[in-house]
Chains A and B, each alone.
Chain A
Amino acid sequence: MQTCLVVDDSSIVRKIARRILEGLDFQVVEAEDGVDALVVCKRAMPEAVLLDWNMPVMDGYHFLSHLRRMPGGETPKVVFCTTENGIEHISKALEGGANEYIMKPFDKEIISAKFQEVGLIAVPE
């Protein structure tokens, strides 16, 4: 089973994401900021990261640049999931090594579509 790390400072968002991701057969690990998320990644690198942008302590963008420099840190597919919906943020995320980008609000359809896009889940025949 693949693991998805959900990084968001809102416990409600983490709960909604968990329900959707478990429905897509992921094992879910949660973190509430970037520092917390790096600790999780050092312990065991997940296959996927669903990543909020604005969080206290360390934001999603800084987490991503740390992650990509870690040993094995280039492997997880990172999908931003944020209320930041401006083209500048999206471009910056992609340049920073994100694989996909979700503009909140999100639902199961969007998460499935984006996870299919990066090859985390199969496209139904």
Chain B
Amino acid sequence: MTPPDYEYLRKLLKDRSGLDLSADKQYLIESRLLPLSRKAGLPGISELVQKMKGGSADLTTQVVEAMTTNETFFFRDKVPFDHFRDSIVPEIVKARASRKSIRIWCAAGSTGQEPYSLAMCLKEIGATLAGWRIEIIATDLSQEVLEKSKAGIYSQFEVQRGLPIQMLVKYFKQTGELWQINPDIRAMVQHRQLNLLHDFAQLGVFDVIFCRNVLIYFDQDTKVNIFNRLARIIEPDGFLVLGAAETVVGLTDVFKPFPDRRGLYRPNAAGAPPAKLPAAAAAAAAPKFAAMAGR
């Protein structure tokens, strides 16, 4: 791959997905895109770039998807799901006792392991949530990934990383070497395609937002912009859950860390939430962002 090829891909990925590759990630591009080149009958990355420049929109979509698909597994990192069960849900149950509804957004739902882990957590809680309206919205940039999530079919390898065996027995049905999550769990999760760089206000307001292991790929300005927009669609007493390597600290004060619960954040009333800012102030950030998103 020539330096201009690399630059072309870097810029394209930044514009389309916000993925911010540093100058030395050639290996990452090669490992993800060589298989895709071969599948398309092309000998290498340079030929792939040529074809993309020639206007193959389909190929371009595939390239963005291949580069942004991230590893995921059931109950990844375990701790955030313990927080969900032991801290988040009990608080929401108290706070929404009259409304009896809970809305959760998995902002990088990927192939479904995270939203389905949350759905299984809620099922395990059981009777406390009887009669509650539960919505889990899983979004991802990649349509292909969402299709896999919707199907809820996983390999033997995938169901063994993080998923307790009792849950496999309880919530999955085996077909040959594959395991499909049961229809009642699948029905708890709605899927939508969404690019976090674009407006997501139409998703409505959430009690809980899981936005894990996706912001690490964005540059600082983009992170701040996303945090500000997340703050506008989260309940004032809601919860934001970030990945182990992510934080709001030093970036924004619209969220504040929840004491003693790593990765857990709440909207910061003192941090002048953008929802209460004059519309003009919110709009001022938009042009810069739109330019970044390549629109």
Write the residues of chain A forming the contact surface with B, with a CB cutoff of 8 angstroms: 85-87, 90-91, 94, 100-103, 106, 109-110, 113-114, 116-117, 123, 125
Contact = CB atoms under 8 A, between A and B. Distances in A.
B169 A94 contact: yes
Given A87-B169, A125-B262, A113 B161 contact: yes
A64 to B, nearest CB: 14
A85 B78 contact: no
B31 interface: no
29 contacts: A85-B156, A85-B177, A86-B174, A87-B169, A87-B174, A90-B168, A90-B169, A91-B169, A94-B165, A94-B166, A94-B169, A100-B164, A100-B165, A102-B160, A103-B156, A109-B161, A110-B157, A110-B160, A110-B161, A113-B160, A113-B161, A113-B162, A114-B160, A114-B165, A116-B78, A117-B165, A123-B77, A123-B78, A123-B79
Contacts of A101: 165
Given A90-B169, A125-B79, 17 more contacts: A87-B174, A90-B165, A91-B169, A94-B165, A94-B166, A94-B169, A100-B164, A106-B160, A109-B161, A110-B157, A110-B161, A113-B73, A113-B160, A113-B162, A114-B160, A116-B78, A123-B77
6 nearest A-B residue pairs (beta carbon): A101-B165, A123-B78, A110-B160, A87-B174, A113-B161, A100-B165
A117 B163 CA distance: 8
Nearest to A85: B156
Contacts of B157: 110
- The range of chain B's interface size is 10 to 19
A119 B73 CA distance: 19
Contacts of A110: 157, 160-161
Interface in B165-191: 165-166, 168-169, 174, 177
Q: Is the interface of B mostly helix, strand, loop or mixed?
A: loop
B161 to A, nearest CB: 5
A117 B73 CA distance: 14
Contacts of B177: 85
Nearest to A111: B160
A103 B160 contact: yes
> B77, B160, B162, B177: which has the most chain A beta carbons within 10 Å?
B160
A100 B164 CA distance: 7
Nearest to A91: B169
Nearest to A107: B157
A123 B77 CA distance: 8
B164 A117 contact: yes
A116 B78 CA distance: 9
Contacts of A116: 78
A123 B262 CA distance: 13
Nearest to B78: A123
Nearest to A114: B160
